[in-house]
Structure 1
C-alpha cells in the first residue's frame, strides 16, 4: 500500500512518458529548428516538416490497413526516409523492424517469414535483391515500397515508389483507437545468430526513452547539437548512439550520411558545425588519413564516439592528436545498447579496456562453465588475470527477449542479466577488458558474423566435404573472414569457391570469405567440435607463409 495516491502518477507515467511524446514536444518547442540535413541532396527538414513527413507515412500505412502491433520492415541506408519511418509507424501503434540493407535475398526472405511485416520499405540500390526476396519468402507483405532511389534503379513489378505511396496522404496527425503504453513494442532490431536468420530484438517505448536519456546524460547532448553517424542507423549503436533516437528526443539535428566517405565527413563537420560523430574504429582510422591531407577545422567537435571494439592506446593518442581530444569509446550489445563507457578524461590511459559500467547499468565478469551459466554473483577475481564471461544488467534499455525465439531467450538472458558470450577480465576498480568470444564470433566493419552460418553455406557446395571458418585481423575492417576447405572432390578450385559465395543467397557481401585454403584435414576436439580458436591462430601464420589465397 502506498503512503500517497499514486493513481495519476501511474496513469501519466505509463501512458504518456513515451518517445513520441518527447518528439512532439520538440515539434512545438523547436518548430523551425533544423532536425534533418541531407548534405548529398542539399535538402533539410525542420521539426515541423519532419513531423508532417512522418504523418504522411503514418496515414499512408493506416490507409493500407495497418494498425497497432503490425510490423513495418525497412531495409534503408541512412536517408531521410529512414527518419520518416522511425517516427511514422509508431504514430499508429505499428512496430518498426529495422533490418540490415546488406543482407542477401535469402536472408531477407527468412527475416520476412519470421517477422511477418505488412509493408517493406527499402533503398533503391537493393531493388533486385528485394524483388528476389519477395519471390523466396512464404509470407507476402501487402506492399513493397522503393525509397531513396538516387541511382534511379528500376521499380520491380508490383512494387511502388515511396513518393507514390504517400502522394495522396494527409500530413495531419493520424487518428488512433488505442492509448499508447510505455511497454508497447515500437522498434525491432536485428542481431546475428548462429543461423542465417538474424535474431529479432524487440524494444519497448520506455527502452527508447531511457536509451535517449543515456546518451543525453553521458555525452551530454542538447538541442544545439548536430550529429553525424558514420555507421548505419539500423544498428543499435547507429540508431541510439547519437543516431535518430536521442537526436530527435533532445531536439538536436541529424546529418544524413548514406555511405561513409571520410572527405565528406570532414567537410560536413566544418559546413554544418557538427558536434558529435559516431563510427567504428576503422572509420576513425580513415578519418585520420583524410584529415592529414585536408586539415579541416574540427573545432566544433565535442565528441568522436566509437563502438564495436576497444581502442588501442597508440590509436587513441593518434586520434586525439589528429582529430579531437574528445574521444569516447562505448561497449555493449544490440540487446542492451552500450553498458560501459570511456570518456575523454579516461583516455588515452584507459584505452584497451571498455571502462566501468554506465550510470544505470552494471557489467560483471563471471566464471565460465562448459555446460551451465554461472550465477550472476559467481564472479571471477578482480585481478585483471582471471578470465570469465562478461554479463550485463541494463533493465532500462532491454526487454530481455527475442521475438519468437524462446530457446535463444533462455540461453542469453538469466535473472535480469544478459550473458554476452564475450570473455574478459576486470580489476579492483571494476574496469573490464574484453579478451575474446565464447562462440568465436567474427566482427567485420561492425557487422557480426557467426562462423557456423558461413560453414553451412560453404558445405552446400557439391565439391566441399567440410569447412572451418575463422578470421584474420584487418586494419580497415577489424577482421576479415577466412575459410579452410576440406574438399570432397580434388578438382575444387579457389575460383569456384569465390564464385559460389558471390552467388549464394544466404551470404551477404560482408560474410563472404576473403581468403581460402584447401586442406587435407580439419582439427576437431575429442567430442567432435571444430577447433575454431586453433584455426584462428593458424590463419595468421598461413597468411605470412602465403598459404591463404585470394581471388
Structure 2
C-alpha cells in the first residue's frame, strides 16, 4: 500500500489555496553547535502520527477505546489494525496527501478511526458539527471541498439536503449506522481494506503538515475554518496531559461533542491516544448514563460544559452513584460561579477545574481545583506554555500586547493570547484572519479583567456589549445576578434597539421547572431582585423580560447572544416581552 502524493496544484485545490506568506528567517546560531540533526528528527518524527504508532505496540494490550452503545472495545494493537485498514482502504480510493476528509458524526468509534487515519495518509481531518442546519453544512462543504464525506445514517435527510444545496460534490460518500444510505454512498465498513498492515506514520510527514481543519462554533455567525498542524496536535495533547494531569492508566469520557476543539482535544481521542489512556464514548449526553458509566467503567476524568455538570449534580443528588474513581471533572465554555463550584465539589468531586479557550488556540487559561472556590467565576491563569494578557480597548485602534489594562480586577479590556496550540490562520478568510491574528497574538474578541495575580475573568464578547444611554452594559454581569435568583435556571441578556436610549437591556429567562410561571409577576419579581443587588447598577438591570424553554448555545457550551440579539426586535413586535 502506498500513500497517494498529490501534485502541488491538485493539493492546493483540495486544501484551498491561500496567499503565500514570507517565511521568517532562522536566527543566527549563538555557538558553533549545528542543531540540524535535531531539527530533522523534530520536524519528521515529533508528529502525532508517530506518537500514535508508538502506542500501538508500547501499549498494545491495553484498552484504547470502549464503545458502550455497541458493546465493542479495541486495544491499542487492535486500534492500530483498524486505522491501518482504513488508511489502506482510503488510499486504494485515491485519497492522499492534502485531501480533506470531512465527517459529521457523534462521538462514535468511526469518528476516532477517521481522525487517526487521516494522519496516516497526510490528509486533513475535518470533523463537522452534527447539529448544523443543512445550509450551514453545505457552506462548509463548499469551503473545504472534501474528497470524502462521512455522515451518520440517522441524519440521512439533513445530509442529503446539504449535499443538494452544496456546489461541491465529495467524490466519496460513506454512511455510518444501520439506516438507509444516500444514493451513491457506501457503508463505512466498505472503506476498510482487508489484510492491511497496522497503522504507520507516513513517509515524508512533518510537524508542519496541516492535519486537522476545524470550524468555529459560531458565536458570531457562519463558522470559520481553522487549520491545525501536527505540531498543534502534539502540543495540545501535551498541554492537557500536564494540566489534568493525564496518565496512561486514566479512563476518560467527554460529554461534549468531539467535533470541536474542546471535545476531541480535551482528553478525547487526540489526548487519550497520545498518552495511552482509554476513551469511553458518549454519543449523546445523558446525565444518568454518564454517572452510571463513571461507576461501571471506573472513569477517572469526565469533561464537559458547566451545564453538563449542573445536570450531573441534579441526578447525583436524586440517585447517588459511586464516583470514587474520579480524579477530576474539567469544564469549558463558560465560567463557574461560586455557588455552582461549591455544589459540584460537594456532590461530584473535589477536583473541579475550568478552562477558557477558543477553537483557534484551544484553552489558554486554566482554573485549577486549588483555585476554587475563592476564584470561582474567573477563567484562571495562563496555561503553562501560553502568554495571556488583558489589553486596553480603544474606539479607534487595537491595543498592542504590551498596552495592558490595570491588574486590579476592575478595568475591562480585551483578553489576548500567544500560544503554540494555534495555527494562526483562517482558511479562505483573509479579512477575519488579519483581524484576529496580530504579530503572533490571537485577538478572540472577548472582554476580560485581570488581577494582581494575573487571574483572568471573562466578561463577555465585545460584539455582545450593550450601549444604553451612552453607558456600557456587559450581558454576563447581568446574567450572573439573575443566576442568583432561585427561579432562574439560565438567561441571556441582549440589547433591544430603542429610539430614546439607543438600546435597552432585555432578558431571555429560562425558569426552573414549576417556577416563574406568571410572566407579569415574574418580571416584577426579577426587577425587584436586580434592584436589590449590590453587584448591579440600576441602569444595567433588564427593562423587559421574556420567558423561554431553551436558550441558544454552541456545541462548546457558549451562549449565542447574537442569535437572540437578531431576534429581539421581532420578539418585541410580537409582544413577547413583559415590562416590570
Question: TM-score, with normalisation over the residues of structure 1?
Answer: 0.81
RMSD over aligned Cα atoms: 3.1
How many residue pairs align between the two structures? 475
Tell me if 1:311 matches 2:336: yes
Instruction: Please name the residue that 2:404 is paired with.
Output: 379
Alignment match, 1:18: 47
Note the C-alpha offset of 1:314. 0.4
Counterpart position of 1:455: none
Q: Does 1:419 align with 2:448?
A: no
1:61, 1:89 within 8 Å by CA — same for their partners in 2?
no
Question: Which residue of 1 is the match for residue 95 of structure 2?
Answer: 66
Q: Secondary structure at the match of 1:434?
A: strand
Shift of 1:173: 4.4
2:365 pairs with one of 340, 345, 348: 340
- 2:127 aligns with 98
Task: Please give the alpha-carbon distance, in whole angstroms, between the structure 2 residues aligned to 1:511 and 1:427.
Answer: 29
After superposition, residues 161-310 of structure 1 pair within 5 angstroms as 161-166=187-192, 168-173=193-198, 178-192=203-217, 197-310=222-335
> Which blocks of at least 5 consecutive residues in structure 1 are unaligned?
453-466, 477-500, 502-508, 523-537, 546-551
Superposition map of 1:109-120 within 5 A:
109-120=138-149
How far residue 385 of structure 1 moved from its aligned partner, in angstroms, is 1.2
Matched residues in 1 for 2:507 and 2:125: separation?
A: 33
Give 3-state SS (helix, strand or coil) of 1:420's partner: coil
Secondary structure in structure 1 of the residue aligned to 2:444: strand
| Among 137, 155, 158, the residue aligned to 2:181 | 155
- Distance change in 2, residues 1:425/1:474 (3 Å): farther
Q: Which runs of 5+ in 2 are unaligned?
A: 1-28, 466-474, 480-491, 496-502, 513-551, 553-559
Whether 1:439 and 2:475 are equivalent positions in the alignment is no
Equivalent-residue separation in structure 2 for 1:544 and 1:39 (angstroms)? 49
1:50 aligns with 2:79: yes
Pairing of 1:28-39 with structure 2 (within 5 A): 28-39=57-68
1:391 equivalent in alignment to 2:420: no
Would the alpha carbon gap of residues 475 and 300 (structure 1) be closer, same or farther in structure 2, given more than 3 Å must change?
Answer: farther
1:486-544 Cα deviation digits (max 9, x unpaired): xxxxxxxxxxxxxxx9xxxxxxx99976987647889xxxxxxxxxxxxxxx99xx357
SS at match of 1:257: coil
Report if the CA contact (8 A) 2:464-2:562 is conserved.
no
| 3-state SS in 2 of match to 1:340 | strand
1:140-187 CA-partner distances (Å, limit 9, x unpaired): 11111111x2xx421111111112232x44431478985111010001
Change (3 A) 1:249 1:474: farther
- 2:175 aligns with 146
TM superposition score normalised by structure 2:
0.77
Counterparts of 1:447-466 in structure 2, within 5 Å, are: none
Report deviation, 1:400: 0.6
8 A contact 2:217–2:260 mirrored in 1: no
Q: Secondary structure at the match of 2:87?
A: helix
2:315 counterpart SS class: helix
Q: Could you tell me how far apart the structure 2 residues matched to 1:338 and 1:403 are?
A: 21
Cα pair 2:173 2:186 within 8 Å, conserved: yes
- Residue 424 of structure 2 corresponds to 400
Structure 2 Cα separation of the partners of residues 511 and 161 of structure 1: 39
SS at match of 1:439: helix
- C-alpha distance in 2, partners of 1:241/1:138? 34
SS at match of 1:179: coil
Matched, 1:81 2:119: no
CA contact (8 A) 2:149 2:174 kept: yes
Distance 1:97 1:281 in 2: 26
